[in-house]
Structure 1
Amino acid sequence: MTKFKVMTLNDLKLTIPLLFASFITNVSAAADVDQSTKANGAYCAPGSEQVQLDLSNVSLTREQGIPLIYQGMNNIEGPLWHDGALYYSNLGSHQANDQDFVLSNQSTIWRWVPGTKPEVWLDDTVAGTNGLAIDNNGNLVATRQLDGSVVYIDWQTKKVSPIVTRYEDKRFNSPNDLTIADDNTIYFTDPNWNTPSNIDPANTQGGGAPGSQVPGQRIYRVSADGKVNPTLVTELVPALRDKPNGITLSLDQKQLIVGGIAGLWAFELKSGRVSNPKQLLNTPIDGLGKDCSGNIYVTTTRNSPTRTDDQLVVILNKNYDEIGTLTVPEIHIVTNIAFGGEDGRTLYVTGLTAPMDGNKVRQCGNADCLPAGIYRARLNVQGFPY
């Protein structure tokens, strides 16, 4: 005979809160999924997460006719596809002035519609940018080494509006790369290279020389209301205090992925807090990108049969297993990644070159390095525009 328990008032008092808590948790989880899916949907067609990347017969081709504005070193960084054009930062230094002072690490923003000649969109007296991104309201967001800030730049008026400029009453070092979550939270890296030469280091966040793990170079989180705080990235992985650089979010935004001189790590991310770091690569990392299948694209340097410093895009799947590489030929250092084109399936890759290695022309393998430039390849997957 089956026995039934009669529920008492005390049972109800205990059960209802548990049911309510379970309901809230499920609703919250569903809301997170919906929000992330909605944000990804701006760039990814329905079902695109199921598309398998096919790299057979894919190679990067160098674009011709990409002008450079600086003497000596030129660095192309921060590619961003928007409204039919690729925007990017061209970093470098002008010649010495009348007092023999070289103002280093200047930066213009260029706009290039493929098939036409790139044009300067914002000159270096105003731009001073490195990383470029777009938030979920369509705003252009930039990391700006000129004054150590993260800013909005208006698409029409080109007015620069600060989001954050300081932390604990000191300017940031040289904000480098950034990524933006579906709720418009900004995460950015702040190494202490590329700080302009007219800035007193005592007024910046600081950090040590290359190889040092002295605090001062961090990864920051900026909430949608403009409040800035350092993350625990460099506390959990002190090696990332040495020139933190590329940064992105996983497709489901449950991991924050950060690279630097010492390698690449993925951190669990929940409510803006990072934990449980996992090292993915141990080679020097510059830029990161991602596609709609959840693959991560990493610009890095490796030894190869033809070069001791071969420049590669290494591709990791959503489980962070390496699934392929693309070689970036005859370039000094590969820098960054963006997807663009009308269907979001064109991969753009940028690079830099300092043409002289001491008093010799810099070599890339057995040939002189080509100037800084842009490469592209057509893929079978869609990707994100920065």
Structure 2
Amino acid sequence: MKILLTTLGFSLLIFFNACELKNAQKNFVATDFVADSTFTKGAEGPAVDKSGNVYAVNFAKQGTVGLILPNGKAELFIVLPDGSIGNGIRFSKYGDMYIADYKKHNILKVNMHSKQISVHAHDSSLNQPNDIAIADNGTLFASDPNWSESSGNLWKITTKGEFVLLEDSMGTTNGIEVSHDNSKLFVNESVQRNVWVYDLSDNGEISNKKLFYKFDDFGMDGMR
């Protein structure tokens, strides 16, 4: 009887684990949130505001930012200044939107109430500001890939709008993120498939670089 109960218990455990796995797989089935061709092939940098609205660049045409409401309805939010094309988007804790403008080497700032767009930072020496991350104190960080040479840099953008080079001669820097407690900065290299982690100080300085993870295949883009 003891053996029978043990076998039954083990079988039930396998059954419940299988059910949990099946339910978990259902939770991660991707479906279309907006219709095809709502955004161009250059759709990038999705970010979510406090109300659950999603924003991404290149709505219908290049040089725009689109707004997707929680019900899936998409509409034009803003048109960027002439010649600017966005990539990564982030929100500050105060609700301001920041956009990496890779064409004009800018970090743009958007007032979400007036939709006024201003240049928060500019530096023509960058390859292209690509993805961005933001700390609670408003300090921004930007990846700066050189796709043709499979290389890249890492920058800090101060609250005063100054670009400060943190590290050069890296791999193809792309996705970037600050940890929730603002103590770590994560940066990936798309071509090399590395994810690096740094200790992050209160004033945005990095140290103690370590390889966090290396993928065996495929490439990487933005991180959250």
TM-score bucket (shorter structure): 0.7 to 0.9
Matched-pair contact (CA < 8 Å) for 2:143–2:176: yes
**Aligned AA (1:187):** F
| 1:259/1:229 CA distance change after superposition, 3 Å | same
Alignment partners' CA distance in 2, 1:280 and 1:113: 35
Q: Secondary structure at the match of 2:182?
A: coil
Asked if 2 retains the 8 angstrom alpha-carbon contact of 1:179 and 1:187, the reply is yes
1:62 match: secondary structure: coil
In the TM superposition, structure 1's runs of 4+ consecutive aligned residues that sit over 6 Å from their partners are: none
Is 2:28 the partner of 1:59? yes
Rg: which structure is higher? 1
TM-score, normalised by the number of residues in structure 2:
0.75
Equivalent residues, number: 194
| 1:180 Cα deviation from its structure 2 partner | 1.0
Q: After TM superposition, give the deviation of residue 56 of structure 1 in Å.
A: 3.0
What is the match of residue 136 of structure 1? 93
Q: After the TM superposition, which residues 56-205 of structure 1 pair with which residues of structure 2 at under 5 Å, given as runs?
A: 56-57=24-25, 58-68=27-37, 74-82=41-49, 83-90=51-58, 106-123=62-79, 126=82, 128-166=85-123, 170-193=124-147
- Structure 2, unmatched stretches of 5+, are 1-20
Question: Which residue of structure 1 aligns with residue 166 of structure 2?
Answer: 231
The match for 1:267 among 198, 205, 208 is 198
Alpha-carbon shift at residue 84 of structure 1 (Å): 3.6
Query: Counterparts of 1:154 and 1:111 in 2: how far apart (Å)?
Result: 15
What per-residue deviation string (whole Å, max 9, x for no partner) do you get for residues 287-327 of structure 1? 111xxxxxxxxxxxxxxxxxxxxxxxxxxxxxxxxxxxxxx
Q: Structure 1 residues 180 and 64 mapped into 2: Cα distance closer, same or farther (>3 Å)?
A: closer
**Structure 1 residue 155, shift from structure 2 partner:** 1.6
Question: Normalised by the size of structure 1, how large is the TM-score?
Answer: 0.46
Unaligned runs of 5+ in 1: 1-53, 95-105, 194-208, 290-386
* Root-mean-square deviation over aligned CA pairs: 2.6
TM-superposed CA distance for 1:64, in Å, is: 4.7
Pair 1:244-2:200 in alignment: no
Query: Displacement of 1:150 after TM fit?
Result: 0.4
The residue type paired with residue 107 of structure 2 is V
Residue 123 of structure 1 deviates from its aligned partner by 3.3
Tell me the residue number matched to 1:278. Answer: 210
Q: Is the 2:95–2:112 Cα contact (8 Å) retained in structure 1?
A: no
What is the deviation of 1:148? Answer: 1.2
Query: How far apart, CA to CA, are the structure 2 residues paired with 1:116 and 1:255?
Result: 33
Q: 1:149 to 1:187 in 2, by over 3 A?
A: same
Superposed CA deviations along residues 250-276 of structure 1, whole A, max 9, x for unmatched, are: 222111100012111101122422122
Q: Displacement of 1:188 after TM fit?
A: 0.9
**Quick one: distance in 2 between partners of 1:138 and 1:125?**
21
Taking the aligned partners of 2:59 and 2:144, their CA distance within structure 1 comes to 16
Distance 1:255 1:137, change over 3 A: same
* Partner Cα distance (2:139, 2:34) in 1: 37
Q: Which has the higher contact order (CA 8 A, sep 6+)?
A: 1
What amino acid is aligned across from residue 70 of structure 2 in structure 1? P
Paired residue type of 1:119:
E
Distance 2:112 2:214 in 1: 38
> SS of the residue aligned with 2:181?
coil
Contact persistence 1:66–1:117 (CA under 8 A): no
| C-alpha contact 2:198 2:210 (8 A) present in aligned 1 | yes
Counterpart-to-counterpart distance in 1, 2:128 and 2:197: 23
Query: 1:137, CA displacement in angstroms?
Result: 1.9
Distance 2:196 2:89 in 1: 22
- The 1:66–1:172 alpha-carbon spacing in structure 2 relative to 1, beyond 3 Å, is farther
Distance 1:70 1:140 in 2: 19
SS of residue matched to 2:70: coil
| Cα pair 2:122 2:163 within 8 Å, conserved | no
Q: Is the contact made by 2:177 and 2:185 (CA closer than 8 Å) also made in structure 1?
A: yes
CA shift in 2, pair 1:253/1:124, >3 Å: closer
